[in-house]
C-alpha cells in the first residue's frame, strides 16, 4: 500500500501546473444573434469566440474598444456582463469522405439522425482562393445529363456556371439532375471497376429554403441513389441569418478538401440571393454602413471570394477541381438587379431560365439567347462537339424566324426548313425532371436530329420517336453506345454504324 | 450640430493629449476635463462622457488585478509586481485582493488578459468539458 501511495505522490509531484494566458472580454450588448463584447484585445478577424456553455461566436467587427460577434447557435442564454474568451482558432468544419451521404448544418454537425461523423480532418470556413500558379484551364467536362446544357452550354470541371431565373422555373432541378447524373456515372464506373474514372462528388448547400423543400430534395436524391456521393449542407429558413451566411462557405470548405486531395467535386449554392439577404441582415445588425438596396458595401466581395474558391488545379498541385453551380432567383425576370449582375460578372457563364418558356412546356426552360458558357466548350467531349456544334446558332436563328413567321407571310423553302428543324430540336431538348440522359444517348439523338432522320416525323411525335430510338439503341445497340461513351468521339466507322442503326430503327418506327 | 462621431474623435484626441510616453497622465486628464467644462464647447457633455469611457478603458488596460484565495505575503507581492512590470512595462497599477471563492491559487487580470491559476478556474474548465 505504501508503494502505491509513494507512486501517486511521485506522479503528483511530477505534474506541472500550467497557467495559460487567456484573452477575455465582457458582453456589453446582445441582440438578434449579435453580441458586442468589450475587451478581447487579441481577437482575430473570423476567430471563434467561446461564450461558455458550448455557445460559439464569430468575431466579425474588430473596433477600437469592442468586438462585434455573431453567435452560432442559441444566443438566448447569453447575458450582459458574461465573460467571453478567444479560442485562437478560425471557424472550421469537418471535411473528408466521411461526410458523404450525410446531411449537416453549417458547423458540419449531422442533422440526419444517422449518428456522429468520424471526420479526421477539419478545414477553415474562410480560406484564400487558389492563386494563378496553382490553376490550370478547364478541360474536363461535367456531364449534367441535361441535353440542352451538355449540347449548348457545356460545363467544365472547375467552372462556375450560374443558374438564374424567376421562382419556379426549374433552377434547383438542373442542380439536382447534375448530382443524380454524376452519381449514376460514379456508380457505373465503380461497378465496372474503371480505375481511370475520376468520380465527381457533389455538395448541395441549401440556404434559407423551406424545410419541406429540403426534405423533398433529400427524398429525390435518396430515391435516385445519389446521396452516397453527396454532402448536403442545410441552413434552412428557420435557421439564424448567421448560419445562412456561413453555410456556403462551410460547403465550399468541404468541396475544397476533395479538390486539394486530387479529386473532383461539384458544389451547388441554392441560392445566393437568399445568402445575400442573410448577409445584409447580419451586416445591418452589426451596424455596418449600408449601400445600394441596403446591402453592405462588400456584398460583391462576399460572392467573389466564395466563387473564386472554385478552381481547376494544375497537375503539379494534385489535378483536383471544384465546380460551382450558384443559383440566383430573379424578380420578374430582372437580371439587371444588384445581386444578379454581381454574380453574373463573377461566374464563367449563366444558364438563364425563362418563365414564359416554362409555361409553354419547354422544360428545362433554358433561354438559348441569354445562356452562355464562357469556358465550357473547351471541356465538351468531341462527339458532342461533332453533333451539337451548330445547334445553338440554328436555334437562335429559329427563334428569330419563328417570330417573323408569326406574321403569316410566305416563306422560302430554306427558311421553312430552318423553322421545321428548330421546332424538332426544341422538342428534342424537352426533358422531364430528375431524368438525366447518358452522354452517348444525347450524342445519338442529336446525330439523328442533325442528319435529317427526324425531318419526316411530325413535331408532336418527336418525343415518342426519341424515347423509342433511345430504347432501341440502349437495348439492341448497347455495344455501339458503349463504344461512343469510351471513344468520346464519332470516328468514321462509329458514325457509319450509328447511321445504320438509326436507319434500321426508322424502318420499324411507325 | 456636432455628431456623435465628431465627439468621439475629439475625445480620442483629448485622450492622446493627456498621454505622456504612451501612459495616461492623471494631472493632465483632470486639467483637460476642467478646461472643457470651463469652455463648454458644443456637444461637450457627449465629449466628456466618451472621454470618461476612454479613460476607464485606459485605466483598465494599465491595471493588474491580482486575486488570491488568501492574503499574499509582502515577498510574494513584490515578486508578482516585478514579474508583471517586466511583462507589461512600467506604469502598471497593481491591486491585490482576497477572494475566497477562488478556493486556491491566483487569478491575475491585466486589461483583457487573464491568467487563471485558481482552483475555481480549473473546476470551471473541467465543468465545461462535460
- Whole-number percent of chain A with pLDDT over 90: 81
Q: Is the ipTM of this complex over 0.95?
A: no
Helix H, strand E, coil C: the string for A326-366 is EEEECCCCCCCCHHHHHHHHHCCEEEEECHHHHHCCCCCCE
For residue A366, the model assigns a pLDDT of 95
Q: Is A21 annotated as catalytic?
A: no
- What is d(CA B23, CA B17) in angstroms, rounded to the nearest whole number? 11
| Best residue in A39, A63, A64, A289 for a mutation probing chain B (most B CBs within 10 Å) | A39
**Interval B29-50: pLDDT, tens:** 999 999 999 999 988 999 999 9
For residue A263, the model assigns a pLDDT of 97
A14 pLDDT band, cuts 50/70/90, is: low
| Best residue in A15, A18, A22, A44 for a mutation probing chain B (most B CBs within 10 Å) | A22
Number of structural domains found in chain B: 2
- What is d(CA A32, CA A76) in angstroms, rounded to the nearest whole number? 9
- Would the CB atoms of A40 and B112 count as touching at under 8 Å? yes
Catalytic residue among A187, A198, A374, A468: A374
Whether B118 has a pLDDT exceeding 80, the answer reads yes
**For residue A123, how far is the Cα from the chain centroid?**
19
| Best residue in A21, A37, A66 for a mutation probing chain B (most B CBs within 10 Å) | A21
Second CATH level (architecture) for the domain A94-380 = 3-Layer(aba) Sandwich (3.40)
- Would the CB atoms of A52 and B128 count as touching at under 8 Å? yes
**Interval A377-392: pLDDT, tens:** 899 999 999 999 888 8
Q: A439-450 vs A413-429: helix axis angle to the nearest 10?
A: 160
Contact A35, A27 (CB under 8 A): yes
Whether A113 has a pLDDT exceeding 60, the answer reads yes
For residue A92, the model assigns a pLDDT of 92
For residue A416, the model assigns a pLDDT of 86
For residue A259, the model assigns a pLDDT of 97
**Interval A238-281: pLDDT, tens:** 998 999 999 999 999 999 999 999 999 999 999 999 999 999 99
Nearest C-alpha in B relative to A55: B128
Domain closes at, from B60, B88, B107: B60
C-alpha to C-alpha distances, A116 to A99, A111, A251, nearest whole angstrom? 10, 9, 18
Q: How would you class A12 by CB atoms within 10 Å of its CB: exposed for 0-12, middle for 13-18, buried for 19 or more?
A: exposed
Contact A276, A306 (CB under 8 A): no
Structural domain boundaries in chain A: 24-89, 94-380, 386-508
Second CATH level (architecture) for the domain A386-508 = Up-down Bundle (1.20)
For residue B94, the model assigns a pLDDT of 92
**For residue A41, how far is the Cα from the chain centroid?**
39
A-chain CB neighbours of B126 within 8 Å are: none
- Would the CB atoms of A22 and B57 count as touching at under 8 Å? no
- Would the CB atoms of A25 and B112 count as touching at under 8 Å? yes
Equal CATH topology for A24-89 and A386-508 = no
Q: Which CATH topology does A24-89 take?
A: Elongation Factor Tu (Ef-tu); domain 3 (2.40.30)
For residue A338, the model assigns a pLDDT of 96
Whether A51 has a pLDDT exceeding 80, the answer reads yes
**Interval A79-111: pLDDT, tens:** 999 999 999 999 999 999 999 999 999 999 999
Whether A408 has a pLDDT exceeding 80, the answer reads no
**Interval A446-458: pLDDT, tens:** 999 999 999 999 9
Q: What is the average pLDDT across B118-129?
A: 83
For residue A4, the model assigns a pLDDT of 83
Pair B20, B54 in one domain: yes
Whether A407 has a pLDDT exceeding 90, the answer reads no
pLDDT: is A21 or A494 the higher one?
Answer: A494
Pair B66, B125 in one domain: yes
- Would the CB atoms of A39 and B53 count as touching at under 8 Å? no
Pair B66, B87 in one domain: yes
- What is d(CA A234, CA A1) in angstroms, rounded to the nearest whole number? 58
Pair B98, B108 in one domain: yes
Nearest C-alpha in A relative to B58: A65
Contact B64, B110 (CB under 8 A): yes
Q: Give me the total of CB pairs closer than 8 Å, taking one residue from chain A and one from chain B.
A: 36
**Residue B31 belongs to domain spanning:** 4-60
Pair B54, B72 in one domain: no
Question: Measured between CB atoms, which of B57, B114, B117 is closest to A65?
Answer: B57
Pair B81, B117 in one domain: yes
Considering only A367-371, A400-404, B107-111, which range has the smallest mean pLDDT? A400-404
Name the average pLDDT for chain A. 92
**Interval A183-239: pLDDT, tens:** 999 999 999 999 999 999 999 999 999 999 999 999 999 999 999 999 999 999 999
- What is d(CA A441, CA A56) in angstroms, rounded to the nearest whole number? 51
B-chain CB neighbours of A38 within 8 Å are: 57
Closest to B33 (Cα-Cα) out of B41, B21, B1: B41
Pair B68, B122 in one domain: yes
Phi, psi of A84 (to 5 degrees): -130, 140
A-chain CB neighbours of B53 within 8 Å are: 65
For residue A405, the model assigns a pLDDT of 77
Nearest C-alpha in B relative to A25: B112
Amino acid at each position: 500500500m505504501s508503494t502505491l501511495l509513494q507512486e501517486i505522490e511521485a506522479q503528483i509531484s511530477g505534474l506541472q501546473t500550467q497557467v495559460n494566458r487567456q484573452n477575455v472580454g465582457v458582453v456589453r450588448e446582445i441582440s438578434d444573434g449579435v453580441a458586442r463584447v468589450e475587451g478581447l484585445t487579441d481577437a482575430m478577424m473570423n476567430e471563434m469566440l467561446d461564450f461558455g456553455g458550448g455557445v460559439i461566436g464569430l468575431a466579425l467587427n474588430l473596433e477600437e474598444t469592442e468586438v462585434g460577434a455573431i453567435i452560432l447557435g442559441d444566443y438566448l442564454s447569453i447575458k450582459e456582463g458574461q465573460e467571453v474568451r478567444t479560442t485562437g482558432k478560425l471557424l472550421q468544419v469537418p471535411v473528408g469522405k466521411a461526410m458523404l451521404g450525410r446531411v449537416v448544418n453549417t458547423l458540419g454537425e449531422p442533422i440526419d439522425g444517422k449518428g456522429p461523423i468520424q471526420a479526421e480532418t477539419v478545414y477553415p470556413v474562410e480560406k484564400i482562393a487558389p492563386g494563378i500558379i496553382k490553376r490550370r484551364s478547364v478541360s474536363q467536362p461535367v456531364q449534367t445529363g441535361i441535353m440542352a446544357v451538355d449540347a449548348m452550354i457545356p460545363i467544365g470541371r472547375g467552372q462556375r456556371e450560374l443558374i438564374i431565373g424567376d421562382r419556379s422555373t426549374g433552377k434547383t432541378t438542373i442542380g439536382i439532375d447534375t448530382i443524380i447524373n454524376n452519381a449514376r456515372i460514379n456508380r457505373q464506373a465503380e461497378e465496372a471497376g474503371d480505375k481511370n474514372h475520376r468520380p465527381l462528388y457533389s455538395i448541395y448547400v441549401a440556404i434559407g429554403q423551406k424545410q419541406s423543400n429540403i426534405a423533398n430534395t433529400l427524398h429525390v436524391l435518396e430515391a435516385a441513389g445519389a446521396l452516397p456521393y453527396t454532402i448536403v449542407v442545410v441552413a434552412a429558413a428557420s435557421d439564424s441569418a448567421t448560419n445562412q451566411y456561413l453555410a456556403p462557405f462551410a460547403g465550399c470548405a468541404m468541396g475544397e478538401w476533395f479538390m486539394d486531395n486530387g479529386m473532383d467535386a461539384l458544389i451547388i449554392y441554392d441560392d445566393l440571393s437568399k445568402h445575400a439577404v442573410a448577409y445584409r441582415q447580419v451586416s445591418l445588425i452589426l451596424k455596418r454602413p449600408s449601400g445600394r438596396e441596403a446591402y453592405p458595401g462588400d456584398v460583391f466581395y462576399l460572392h467573389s471570394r466564395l466563387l473564386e474558391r472554385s478552381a481547376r488545379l494544375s497537375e503539379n498541385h494534385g489535378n483536383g477541381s471544384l465546380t460551382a453551380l450558384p443559383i440566383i432567383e430573379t424578380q420578374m425576370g430582372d437580371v439587371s438587379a444588384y445581386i444578379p449582375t454581381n454574380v453574373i460578372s463573377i461566374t464563367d457563364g449563366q444558364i438563364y431560365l425563362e418563365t414564359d418558356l416554362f409555361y409553354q412546356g419547354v422544360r428545362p426552360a433554358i433561354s438559348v439567347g441569354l445562356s452562355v458558357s464562357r469556358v465550357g466548350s473547351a471541356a465538351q467531349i468531341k462527339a458532342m462537339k461533332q453533333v451539337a456544334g451548330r445547334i445553338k446558332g440554328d436555334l437562335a436563328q429559329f427563334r428569330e424566324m419563328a417570330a417573323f413567321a408569326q406574321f403569316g407571310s410566305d416563306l422560302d423553302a430554306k427558311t421553312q426548313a430552318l423553322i421545321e428543324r428548330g421546332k424538332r430540336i426544341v422538342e428534342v431538348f424537352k426533358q422531364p425532371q430528375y431524368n438525366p440522359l447518358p452522354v452517348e444517348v444525347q450524342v445519338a439523338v442529336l446525330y439523328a436530329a442533325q442528319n435529317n432522320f427526324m425531318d419526316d416525323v411530325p413535331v408532336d411525335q418527336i418525343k415518342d420517336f426519341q424515347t423509342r430510338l433511345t430504347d432501341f439503341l440502349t437495348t439492341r445497340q448497347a455495344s455501339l453506345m458503349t463504344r461512343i461513351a469510351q471513344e468520346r468521339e464519332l470516328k468514321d466507322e462509329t458514325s457509319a454504324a450509328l447511321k445504320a442503326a438509326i436507319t434500321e430503327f426508322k424502318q420499324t418506327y411507325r | 450640430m456636432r455628431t456623435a462621431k465628431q465627439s468621439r474623435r475629439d475625445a480620442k484626441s483629448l485622450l492622446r493629449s493627456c498621454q505622456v510616453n504612451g501612459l495616461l497622465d492623471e494631472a493632465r486628464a483632470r486639467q483637460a476635463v476642467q478646461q472643457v467644462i470651463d469652455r463648454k464647447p458644443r456637444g461637450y457633455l457627449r465629449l466628456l462622457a466618451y472621454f470618461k469611457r476612454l479613460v476607464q478603458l485606459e485605466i483598465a488596460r494599465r491595471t493588474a488585478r491580482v486575486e488570491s484565495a488568501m492574503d499574499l505575503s509582502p515577498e510574494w507581492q513584490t515578486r508578482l509586481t516585478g514579474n508583471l512590470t517586466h511583462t507589461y512595462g512600467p506604469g502598471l497599477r497593481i491591486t491585490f485582493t482576497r477572494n475566497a471563492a477562488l478556493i486556491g491559487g491566483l487569478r491575475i487580470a491585466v486589461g483583457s488578459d487573464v491568467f487563471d491559476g485558481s482552483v475555481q478556474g480549473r473546476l470551471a474548465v473541467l465543468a465545461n468539458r462535460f
